[in-house]
Amino acid sequence: MATNRQAATAHSRWRAPIFFAILAVLFVLEGTVRNSMFSGSWNTSLAILNMGLISAITALGVNMQWGYAGLFNVGVVGFLAMGALAPVLISLPPVEGAWEAGIPRLALALLVGLGTLAMARLAWGRTRSGILTLAVLIGGFLAYRWLFDPAVTAIEANNPARQGNIGGLGLPVLLSWVVGGVFAAAAAWAIGKVALGLRSDYLAIATLGIGEIIVAVLRNEEWLARGVMNITSIPRPVAYEIELQRNLDFVEAASRWGFGAAEASGIWVKLSYMSLFLVVLLVIILLAELALKSPWGRMMRAIRDNETAAEAMGKDVTRRHLQVFILGSAVIGVAGAMMVTLDGLLAPTSYNPLRYTFLIWVMVIVGGSGNNWGAVLGSVTIWFLWIKAEVWGPALIAAMTSPMADGPIKAHLLDSSPHMRFIAMGAVLLLVLRFAPRGLLPEK
Amino acid sequence: MDILNGLVVFLNFVFIPAAAYGAQLALGALGVTLIYGILRFSNFAHGDTMAFGTAIVILLTWGLQALGISIQPLPTALLALVPAIALTALLVLATDRLVYRFYRRQKAAPIILVMASVGVMFVMNGLTRLLIGVNEQRFDDGARFIIDVRTFREMTGLTEGLALRSTQGLTVILAFITMIALFWFLNRTRSGKAMRAYSDNEDLALLSGIDPERVVRLTWIIAAGLMVMAGTLYGLDKAFRPFNYFQILLPIFAAAIVGGLGNPMGAIAGGFLVAFSEVAVTYPWVRVVGYVAPWYDPGPGNLMQLLGTEYKFAVSFVILIVVLLFRPTGLFRGKSV
């Protein structure tokens, strides 16, 4: 961590393998042992792991911004949501009649909106006249609304019960992972241009606002992704359980391993997802590690550790910050697209910053900021704890309250025990910040 | 007459709600700004601590109601306010002792304190949920209106009615009293002057024998008072849901920053600026325009609304960005660490 004052303690090179081994044991226990602590189901274990891998990719993006460059981005949920839009727009089948209803007019409106911003910027740059700039903005806004509103009404009126949005392009869903990264990168570019001049606390609050806005757009612009009506049945890159269960070869192979057809199909689908996620994760880690060990990475860390000195040596700090902000956000966007693909569902109301921004931050800090493997370790560990807290929390409270007499207080404690997970996560973050500020796997 | 009707609509749907909301934001932003001025970090746990304090107020209110104690026509929650502030102050002092003091002694970078406040935010959020659950709670009793629509119409003979809810009136009056008391404290008392001195120049303040830990304690206690007050007034005016208090963090930060972090006057101005812009931008102006400019026909279905109400938060954020672009430390020239 940039601002850490503790002397770097020497760590054995077995530290990372040992932590990962412990984590692996936990997942094996979850898959095999059935008691009050573990579910004993490989389906559950793999489901936790898959979401953990996606969290790990998100955390890698945050780690690039914070660990490499010291940028405090609290708008993670917004970039995840940007990425989440990609599977919808890329892989869903085209909506019949949407084009006629008003896509061209809508596109024109968005172009006018962008043009207005560019014009306003130009007007301000050339003349420094606030009144002229304001006039351009107001005129542009009126033109934009004049084009935009009827188009949206028409699109939302197009078969609203089932569609009512612009639909997708019908391309393979895997492509949308890349596009998700591009979406998030584009958003990051626009935001970075405005906000990266700000100081640390101010940047944090600016990104917090941006995250909220992106999620608000996703929730309310029904022409785009149906808003709160959700989008289901996003195409899959892997097999469907039903098909596997109908496949006689598969059923036979499953029974040879001692699994029922239903259970085996679930495991097979999750394993397929897992392999895809692992490929993405390893590619990103490889690129990130190469970048970190290159002159570029040394420059980034030099900037992070002492901005003034780096600037004095001729490094363009603002430009580098923008670069790493875009790269990190792109990685977060990829994770957002992957998450929607895994769920097969886009539910904008579920994009809660507590879960998708601040929990990711806990993962990065606990894992060890500045260390890519640390981010992965922290993510999977914290995600495992987050899920298991749902089971362990009530068990713990039940054990603690067992000597108490039955009554309203005991009932209330038992009822609200799921909320323990927030307290637990906060406590973990605070303890790590206090006693191991460099995280489980510190930066070398 | 039409102009008067238009004015009444404006007062009823824009001015009064925005004034009440602005007062709540200003109280919240004052707390944020005080903590920033003295402890020098943005406190992300502010919203959730507000929620916790309000939850205590609600529980105490229910207790008082069960005992049959009330102060009709005022809401019982006002009685519960004082003990709730005391309890919240104790909790907040405990978090300072357990969490923040360590980093202060270490002279850690502000961003580490911000991160620690994220940890505190999680814990506070969990505590609030544990204490009162996640559902909406209503705890406003007492008289509902100072003026209601019918009385107003009968009094004035206008077509449009004006309603002033007691919670709105109460919010503005209480916030006003609190702000005067705070400014009196900061400008006139010895402790207040010590706080300002510490905020302006830490080293100089230490040289003149000001006890920093005392200043920090005082700050937390005042901040706790402001938090519980803001949270309770917001809860009385709208309704209490823990998640709303997490969301209100953004407008509160926007208000504090727009005014200039560390500047109490700025926090108040920022609070009202953010609230009035939010309401004005998302209000459908068609009825007001109908009275003021009856010759203008905006066409069917046009509500003359600049932005949908869902984008309230966007407004506070846009103001934030615009102000920061032109005045990087806010309108009233706040400080930057």
- Residue A403's pLDDT is 82
- Helix, strand, or coil (residue B335): coil
pLDDT tens sequence for chain B (337 residues): 788 888 999 999 999 999 999 999 999 999 999 999 999 999 999 999 999 999 999 999 999 999 988 888 888 899 999 999 999 999 999 999 999 999 999 988 888 899 999 999 999 999 999 888 888 988 888 888 888 888 888 888 888 888 899 899 999 999 999 999 999 999 999 999 999 999 888 889 889 889 999 999 999 999 999 999 999 999 999 889 988 898 899 899 999 988 888 889 999 999 999 999 999 998 888 888 888 888 887 776 677 888 887 788 788 888 887 777 777 777 887 766 5
Residue A200 in any domain: the answer is yes
Domain-terminating residue out of A149, A166, A183: A166
One domain, residues A78 and A208: yes
Cβ neighbours of B257 in A, within 8 Å: 202, 205
Residue B335 in any domain: the answer is no
Could you tell me the residue range of the domain that residue A113 belongs to?
Answer: 95-166
- Residue A8's pLDDT is 47
One domain, residues A140 and A265: no
Provide the terminal-to-terminal Cα distance of chain B, rounded to the nearest Å.
Answer: 54
- Helix, strand, or coil (residue B207): helix
Residue A26 in any domain: the answer is no
Distance from CA of A439 to the nearest CA of B (A): 13
Domain-terminating residue out of A142, A166, A190: A166
Mean pLDDT, residues A207-213 taken together:
88
Residues sharing a CB contact under 8 Å with residue A247, sequence separation 6 or more, in sequence order: none
Provide the terminal-to-terminal Cα distance of chain A, rounded to the nearest Å.
Answer: 11
Residue A230 has pLDDT above 90, yes or no: no
Interface contact flag, A362 B122, Cβ < 8 Å: yes
Residue in B with minimal Cα distance to A420: B126
Alpha helices in chain B (DSSP H): 2-10, 16-39, 46-67, 77-95, 101-106, 110-132, 149-156, 166-188, 190-200, 202-207, 212-237, 242-247, 249-259, 264-282, 286-292, 312-326
Domains identified in chain B, total number? 1
One domain, residues A178 and A230: yes
From B129, B254, B257, residue closest to A416, measured CB to CB: B129
One domain, residues A296 and A154: no
Alpha helices in A248-407 (DSSP H): 248-257, 261-293, 295-305, 307-312, 317-343, 353, 359-367, 372-401
Interface contact flag, A201 B110, Cβ < 8 Å: yes
Cβ neighbours of A66 in B, within 8 Å: none
Question: How deeply is A229 buried, as exposed, middle or buried, from its count of CB atoms within 10 A (0-12, 13-18, 19+)?
Answer: middle
- Residue A1's pLDDT is 42
Interface contact flag, B313 A365, Cβ < 8 Å: no
Domain-terminating residue out of A166, A201, A222: A166
Cβ neighbours of A124 in B, within 8 Å: none
Interface contact flag, A209 B254, Cβ < 8 Å: yes
For residues A61 and A67, is the Cβ–Cβ distance under 8 A?
A: no
One domain, residues A128 and A182: no
One domain, residues A79 and A103: no
Provide the CATH number for the domain around residue B255: 1.10.3470
Tell which residue, B144, B156, B154, has the closest CA to residue B73: B144
One domain, residues A159 and A173: no
Q: How far apart are CA A181 and CA B155, in angstroms?
A: 62
For residues B76 and B70, is the Cβ–Cβ distance under 8 A?
A: yes
- Helix, strand, or coil (residue A354): helix
Residue A338 in any domain: the answer is yes
Residue B274 in any domain: the answer is yes
Distance from CA of A416 to the nearest CA of B (A): 5
- Residue A324's pLDDT is 93
Residue B214 in any domain: the answer is yes
Distance from CA of A92 to the nearest CA of B (A): 27
Tell which residue, B271, B262, B264, has the closest CA to residue B320: B271
Domains identified in chain A, total number? 2
Question: How deeply is A342 buried, as exposed, middle or buried, from its count of CB atoms within 10 A (0-12, 13-18, 19+)?
Answer: buried
One domain, residues A288 and A160: no
Cβ neighbours of B311 in A, within 8 Å: 213, 216, 220
The encoded tokens of residue B18 equal 């925005």
Residues sharing a CB contact under 8 Å with residue A161, sequence separation 6 or more, in sequence order: none
Residue A315 in any domain: the answer is yes
- Residue B336's pLDDT is 62
Tell me: the pLDDT tens digits for A34-85? 887 888 889 999 999 999 999 999 999 999 999 888 899 999 999 999 999 9
Residue A10 in any domain: the answer is no
One domain, residues A158 and A288: no
One domain, residues A150 and A231: no
Residue A87 in any domain: the answer is yes
Tell me: the pLDDT tens digits for B177-203? 999 999 999 999 999 999 999 988 888
One domain, residues A137 and A279: no
Interface contact flag, A212 B130, Cβ < 8 Å: no
Tell me: the pLDDT tens digits for B301-310? 677 888 887 7
Tell me: the pLDDT tens digits for A236-254? 899 888 888 888 888 888 8
Residue A144: other Cβ atoms inside 10 A: 19
One domain, residues A99 and A224: no
Residue B273 in any domain: the answer is yes
The encoded tokens of residue A144 equal 């934009």
ipTM above 0.85, yes or no: yes
| Amino acid residing at B35 | I
Distance from CA of A243 to the nearest CA of B (A): 41
